[in-house]
């Protein structure tokens, strides 16, 4: 399947999630060589009406590559994709790659949150509510070059959502690596209570895309 791309497009992001687009562009534009990247140089799978491939990989890395490879074949452009999720220690790493459809329907954030909180309701000690967001970010180019980078943001799950920023499971994870609270104690805000800039500086996606950014810059500028 071939998809026509707009004139000037130089990179395609494999996502239909607008909030993720904003987050990823902010991360990429903070990297050397990408700050002046024009808006029309980056298009998304949603912009192009590209179908989502079957994500039948068993790791975040495999699914990120599946999405990026599919877009390269369809558009002929370098493609960037990520696969992200929440890995809860006491659940053996679940929801993991099934995070976006944990409650049965893809992308129903509220249902996913409600189910996970119900599953953890009897586990009240913070030490047993440890978890981490994981992101595998992949770049695939038309000439077959591939690179995958991984990031993780560890933290503790709270028992009720807090905050309106972010998306997915952000309202229930208090990241370890955040600025101290006003009393200089550990930070207590969930990822959804952080500003976008604060979250990008410590997030799993920020880590993965910061590491991938030089390869993206080379694909765009080389």
Taking the domains of the chain in order of start, what are their residue ranges? 11-221
pLDDT of 15: 86
* Cα 133 → chain centroid: 9
For 116-167, the pLDDT digits (tens) are 999 999 999 999 999 999 999 999 999 999 999 999 999 999 999 999 998 8
Instruction: Say which of 83, 108, 143, 176 is annotated catalytic.
Output: 83
155: nearest Cα among 88, 60, 61: 88
Question: Structurally, what CATH architecture does the domain formed by 11-221 represent?
Answer: Alpha-Beta Complex (3.90)
Which one has a higher pLDDT value, 91 or 17? 91
Three-state secondary structure call for residue 107: coil
Quick check: is 159 catalytic?
no
Neighbours of 122 (CB within 10 A): 6
pLDDT of 1: 61
- Do residues 208 and 135 lie in contact, with contact meaning Cβ atoms separated by under 8 Å? yes
pLDDT of 100: 93
CA dist., res. 129 & res. 173, Å (int)? 10
Neighbours of 108 (CB within 10 A): 15
- Can you say whether residue 92 is alpha, beta or left, with left for phi > 0 and alpha for psi between -120 and 50 degrees? left
On the question of pLDDT at 114 being above 80, the answer is yes
């Amino acid at each position: 399947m071939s998809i026509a791309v707009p004139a000037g497009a130089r990179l395609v992001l494999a996502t239909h999630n607008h909030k993720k687009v904003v987050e990823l562009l902010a991360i990429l534009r903070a990297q050397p060589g990408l700050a002046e990247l024009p808006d029309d140089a980056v298009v998304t799978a949603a912009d192009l009406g590209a179908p989502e491939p079957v994500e039948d990989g068993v790791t975040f890395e495999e699914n990120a590559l599946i999405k990026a490879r599919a877009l390269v074949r369809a558009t002929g452009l370098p493609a960037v994709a990520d696969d992200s999720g929440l890995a809860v220690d006491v659940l053996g790493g679940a929801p993991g790659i099934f995070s976006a459809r944990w409650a049965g329907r893809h992308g129903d954030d509220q249902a996913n949150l409600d189910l996970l909180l119900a599953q953890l309701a009897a586990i009240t000690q913070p030490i047993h509510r440890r978890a981490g967001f994981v992101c595998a970010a992949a770049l695939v180019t038309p000439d077959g070059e591939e690179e995958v980078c991984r990031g993780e943001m560890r933290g503790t799950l709270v028992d009720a959502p807090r905050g309106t920023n972010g998306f997915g499971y952000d309202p229930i994870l208090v990241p370890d690596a955040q600025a101290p609270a006003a009393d200089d104690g550990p930070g207590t805000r969930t990822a959804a209570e952080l500003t976008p800039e604060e979250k990008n500086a410590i997030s799993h996606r920020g880590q993965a895309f910061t590491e991938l950014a030089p390869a993206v810059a080379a694909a765009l500028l080389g």
